[in-house]
């Protein structure tokens, strides 16, 4: 696998958001994008891997497919794993965690036994330290993860080039009880038609995720600008080329302000601090307010997007119907011309707003729940 080689890059996403991520990937000019279950596949080289980690707002992880071979039994897996050119990608001084997934169509069906053979090959041929699969996070920090999928006797190897999930942008120190992941927020904003040229209001902003993502999009800020990535620990990493990619990110000015409010004073304080760390405090505004006190900001209508409590994890669902009803009434009375996006796991709660929602899309897996985006055209 040479530095200039083109290979398959798998961009993972929460199931249900593949088409939204595909639109972003196409927009950013990646080669041969194709939506598949759980993500988007593109073709590219290492520079594309680095750019995807830095610039894609919706991808959860970036996996580089580094090679494959057929193996019909464990002895064959052991032999071929020892001959695999690991040193093209992995470094002997960086620990490796091996994850194996198998299925019934393969003669090798025991994932644990397969992982042991691959670990032994890495340890004895390359000399790397192996991180046990159940090792605590502290022990695995600084390692890279090698993933092997054995499907129909074909062993496909990928390396996780992201490290921590890409929703961890690197500037949010505080989150609320049930936070919306930044990657999901970015794709929900996209599905609501947000492109950075209109105001956004979140009346239940929590730690400020929607507001901060919207402000970053408007400013053209790369989502991965404040963090490190696992690809920096690979043999294929070129620090000078990476710095060149980082330096091409162009920031923009915006005259817009993005608004968040919450009835919880602690949440408002937390959101403002997160926005400051993200460098968007100059174009964001946070205030303590109840939903019933919500007023549209001055200027042209834009987007109201909100992730209210669902009742599944926070509080009693019966008490939430009044909250959703108050939200809908406030928006219908005061936000004529604004579009609305509501993220919830409960269709009955969404209907309690009595807002004129468009047909809903596929459910999205989030924290053990299935959530949906309910959105409207501009309100009358």
Structural tokens at position 314: 């926070």
* CATH code at position 264: 3.40.50.150
95 CA to centre of own chain: 25
Q: Residues 87, 189: one domain?
A: no
Which residues are within 8 A (CB) of 199 and not within 5 positions of it... i.e. 6 or more apart? 256, 257, 258, 259, 297, 299, 300, 301, 302, 303
Q: What is the pLDDT of residue 24?
A: 98
Tokens read off for 191: 């599905």
Residue at 189 is within a domain: yes
232 found inside a domain? no
Per-residue confidence band for 209, with pLDDT thresholds at 50, 70 and 90: very high
Q: Tally the C-alpha atoms within 13 A of residue 275's C-alpha that lie toward its C-beta.
A: 29
Mark whether 211 and 155 lie in a shared domain. no
Query: In terms of domains, do 125 and 210 share one?
Result: no
Q: What is the mean pLDDT of residues 121-134?
A: 93
Task: Report yes or no on 91 lying in a domain.
Answer: yes
In terms of domains, do 147 and 189 share one? no
Same domain, 305 and 354: yes
Task: List the domain range (segments joined by +) for residue 273.
Answer: 182-221+252-375
The total domain count for the chain is 2
Residue range 346-371: mean pLDDT, rounded: 93
Same domain, 141 and 191: no
Q: Are residues 152 and 27 part of one domain?
A: yes
What CATH number is attached to the domain comprising 56? 3.30.2130.30
Q: Are strands 130-131 and 339-344 parallel, antiparallel or unpaired?
A: unpaired
Query: pLDDT tens, 48-91?
Result: 999 999 999 999 999 999 999 999 999 999 999 999 999 999 99
Q: Which of 90, 81, 7, 93 is nearest to 43 (CA)?
A: 7
Residues 43 and 112 in one domain: yes
Whether 87 and 211 map to the same domain: the answer is no
| Shared domain check, 208 and 71 | no
The 8-class DSSP code of residue 376 comes to B
Tens of pLDDT, residue by residue over 8-29, are 999 999 999 999 999 999 999 9
Q: Please provide the DSSP assignment of 17-61 as one string.
A: -HHHHHHHHHHTT-EEEEEETTEEEEEE-HHHHHHHHHH-SS-SE
Helix (H, G, I), strand (E, B) or coil at 51: helix
Same domain, 48 and 156: yes
| pLDDT at 138 (0 to 100) | 66
Instruction: Compute the distance between CA of residue 302 and CA of residue 89 in angstroms, rounded to an integer.
Output: 46
Is residue 103 predicted with pLDDT exceeding 90? no
pLDDT confidence band for 3 (50 / 70 / 90): low
54 and 111, same domain (yes or no): yes
Q: Is residue 308 part of a domain?
A: yes
From CA 115, how far away is CA 217, in angstroms rounded? 41
> What is the percent of the chain with per-residue pLDDT over 90, rounded to a whole number?
84
- Residue 177: the pLDDT is 62
Is 84 among the domain residues? yes
Helix (H) or strand (E) holding 140: helix 137-140
Q: Is residue 368 part of a domain?
A: yes
Structural domain contains residue 2: no
Strands in 255-302 per DSSP E: 258-262, 284-288
Inside any domain, residue 234: no
Q: Each residue of 249-270: pLDDT tens digit?
A: 888 999 999 999 999 999 999 9
- For the entire predicted model, the pTM comes to 0.94
Give yes or no for a contact between 63 and 12, defined as CB atoms under 8 angstroms apart.
Answer: yes
Report, as an integer, the average pLDDT of 149-170.
95
């Amino acid at each position: 696998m040479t530095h200039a080689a083109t290979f398959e890059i798998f961009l993972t996403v929460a199931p249900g958001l593949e088409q939204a991520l595909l639109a972003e990937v196409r927009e950013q000019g990646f080669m041969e994008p194709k939506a598949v279950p759980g993500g988007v596949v593109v073709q590219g080289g290492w520079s594309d891997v680095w750019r995807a980690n830095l610039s894609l707002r919706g991808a959860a992880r970036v996996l580089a497919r580094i090679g494959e071979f057929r193996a019909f039994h464990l002895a064959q897996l052991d032999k071929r794993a020892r001959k695999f050119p690991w040193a093209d990608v992995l470094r002997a001084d960086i620990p490796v965690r091996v994850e194996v997934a198998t299925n019934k169509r393969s003669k090798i069906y025991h994932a644990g036994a397969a992982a042991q053979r691959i670990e032994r090959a890495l340890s004895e041929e390359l000399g790397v330290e192996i991180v046990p699969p159940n090792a605590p996070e502290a022990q695995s920090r600084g390692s890279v993860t090698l993933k092997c999928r054995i499907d129909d006797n074909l062993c496909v190897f990928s390396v996780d080039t992201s490290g921590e999930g890409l929703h961890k942008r690197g500037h949010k120190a505080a989150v609320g009880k049930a936070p919306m992941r930044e990657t999901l927020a970015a794709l929900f904003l996209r599905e609501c038609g947000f492109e950075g040229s209109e105001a956004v209001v979140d009346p239940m902003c929590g730690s400020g995720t929607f507001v901060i993502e919207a402000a970053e999009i408007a400013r053209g800020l790369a989502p991965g600008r404040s963090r490190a990535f696992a690809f920096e620990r690979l043999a294929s990493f070129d620090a000078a080329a990476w710095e060149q990619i980082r330096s091409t990110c162009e920031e923009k000015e915006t005259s817009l302000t993005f608004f968040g409010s919450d009835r919880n004073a602690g949440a408002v304080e937390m959101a403002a601090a997160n926005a400051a760390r993200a460098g968007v405090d100059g174009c964001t505004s946070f205030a303590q307010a109840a939903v019933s006190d919500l007023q549209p900001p001055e200027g042209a209508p834009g987007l109201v997007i909100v992730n209210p409590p669902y009742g599944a994890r926070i509080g009693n669902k019966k008490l939430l119907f009044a909250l959703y009803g108050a939200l809908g009434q406030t928006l219908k009375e005061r936000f004529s011309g604004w579009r609305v996006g509501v993220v919830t796991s409960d269709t009955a709660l969404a209907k309690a707003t009595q807002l004129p929602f468009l047909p809903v899309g596929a459910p999205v897996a989030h924290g053990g729940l299935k959530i949906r985006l309910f959105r409207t055209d501009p309100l009358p």
